[in-house]
């Protein structure tokens, strides 16, 4: 997926916080996003070809094209990532230098809105945006999924990385315990008391997972191979934002009307809803 991570409002700091594997990768992907904007809305042909990987609904593309200051932030981040690439890997040049210069000389005229807007999250991590401010949300995504075993050559880990990682692990354990207590003990007791159709704890988890992803969960995670392994228990792979959402959904299931509604949504995602 073509993407970038909003780790700080200052593009220079944001670039410095990127782990090694992302410095060059995200630099290229930002320039692909900016090229796509020019392909779709401008007359001059940008340096990169139009990409089939960037849909008109892709969150980073939508955000970058929403205002000129969003666009400028992306371009500044690309420029700072170029500097990081040279600094960390002791390089004197990069083929992207001319590309960045082209964008600096060809700001899109089609983008009318000026002010920077709220960042947009890709669908796989948008739940983080429900519980944290933008920067904190992206930092939690970073420690949960993106740079657990990477390095920051000549920089060292960001000052916030280990503390957030530790906090995330502690909170995830607490949430998993609470979720399992709900779906294994409390909700089955409720089901028995009211003689409900939904009884087994796996069924309650299925409702939570399907409504987390707004789809049949075991089908959806196969599209996210960089985050989840379908052969392993999902609850042990979910990030902090995901578990917060699952716990919230599990608590909603104690309301019988919401339980029926959310179960029907789950069955609908699975084409099993009896009309």
Residue 154 in any domain: the answer is no
Beta carbons within 10 angstroms of residue 31's beta carbon: 23
| Residues 23 and 122 occupy one common structural domain | yes
Residue 232 in any domain: the answer is yes
| Residues 42 and 128 occupy one common structural domain | yes
pLDDT tens digits in sequence order for the chain, 275 residues long = 678 999 999 999 999 999 999 999 999 999 999 999 999 999 999 999 999 989 999 999 999 999 999 999 999 999 999 999 999 999 998 999 999 999 999 999 999 999 999 999 999 999 999 999 999 999 999 999 988 778 999 999 999 999 999 999 999 999 999 999 999 999 999 999 999 888 788 999 999 999 999 999 999 999 998 899 999 999 999 999 999 999 999 999 999 999 999 999 999 999 987 66
| Residues 111 and 211 occupy one common structural domain | no
| Residues 118 and 201 occupy one common structural domain | no
| Residues 28 and 92 occupy one common structural domain | yes
User: What per-residue string of b and e applies to 107-123 under the rule 16 or more CB within 10 Å gives b?
Assistant: ebeebeeeebeebbbeb
| Residues 121 and 217 occupy one common structural domain | no
- Which residues make Cβ contacts (< 8 Å) with residue 178, sequence separation at least 6? 247, 250
Domain span including residue 207: 171-269
| Residues 81 and 114 occupy one common structural domain | yes
Distance CA 21, CA 250 (A): 37
User: pTM for this structure?
Assistant: 0.94
Distance CA 222, CA 84 (A): 33
| Residues 196 and 72 occupy one common structural domain | no
Residue 260 in any domain: the answer is yes
Distance CA 27, CA 4 (A): 9
Q: How many domains does the chain have?
A: 2
Residue 203 in any domain: the answer is yes
Residue 123 in any domain: the answer is yes
Residue 151 in any domain: the answer is no
| Residues 126 and 183 occupy one common structural domain | no
DSSP H stretches of helix in the chain: 11-17, 20-41, 59-64, 68-89, 96-104, 128-131, 134-141, 161-181, 187-194, 201-213, 217-220, 240-252, 256-269
Length of the chain: 275
- Which residues make Cβ contacts (< 8 Å) with residue 140, sequence separation at least 6? 128, 132, 164, 168, 239, 240, 241
| Residues 237 and 187 occupy one common structural domain | yes
Domain C-terminal end among 146, 181, 211: 146
pLDDT (0 to 100) of residue 67: 97
Domain C-terminal end among 131, 146, 161: 146
| Residues 183 and 134 occupy one common structural domain | no
- Closest by CA to 204, choosing from 219, 217, 218, 188, is 188
| Residues 141 and 250 occupy one common structural domain | no
Domain C-terminal end among 81, 112, 146: 146
């Amino acid at each position: 997926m073509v993407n970038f991570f909003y780790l700080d409002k200052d593009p220079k700091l944001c670039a410095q916080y990127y782990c090694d594997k992302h410095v060059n990768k995200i630099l290229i992907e930002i320039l692909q996003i900016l090229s796509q904007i020019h392909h779709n809305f401008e007359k001059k042909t940008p340096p990169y070809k139009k990409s089939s990987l960037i849909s008109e609904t892709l969150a980073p593309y939508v955000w970058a094209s929403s205002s000129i200051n969003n666009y400028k932030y992306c371009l500044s981040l690309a420029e700072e990532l170029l500097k990081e690439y040279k600094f960390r890997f002791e390089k004197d040049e990069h083929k992207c230098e001319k590309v960045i210069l082209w964008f600096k000389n060809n700001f899109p005229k089609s983008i009318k809105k000026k002010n920077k807007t709220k960042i947009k999250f890709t669908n796989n991590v948008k739940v983080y945006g429900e519980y944290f401010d933008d920067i904190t949300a992206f930092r939690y995504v970073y420690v949960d999924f993106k740079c657990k075993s990477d390095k920051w050559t000549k920089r060292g880990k960001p000052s916030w990385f280990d503390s957030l990682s530790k906090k995330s692990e502690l909170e995830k354990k607490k949430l998993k315990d609470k979720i399992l207590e709900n779906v294994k003990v409390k909700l089955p007791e409720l089901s028995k008391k009211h003689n409900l159709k939904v009884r087994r704890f796996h069924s309650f988890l299925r409702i939570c997972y399907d409504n987390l992803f707004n789809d049949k969960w075991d089908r959806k995670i196969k599209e996210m191979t960089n985050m989840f392994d379908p052969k392993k228990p999902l609850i042990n792979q979910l990030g902090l934002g995901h578990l917060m959402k699952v716990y919230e959904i599990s608590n909603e299931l104690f309301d019988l009307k919401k339980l029926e509604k959310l179960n029907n949504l789950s069955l609908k995602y699975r084409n099993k809803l009896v009309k």
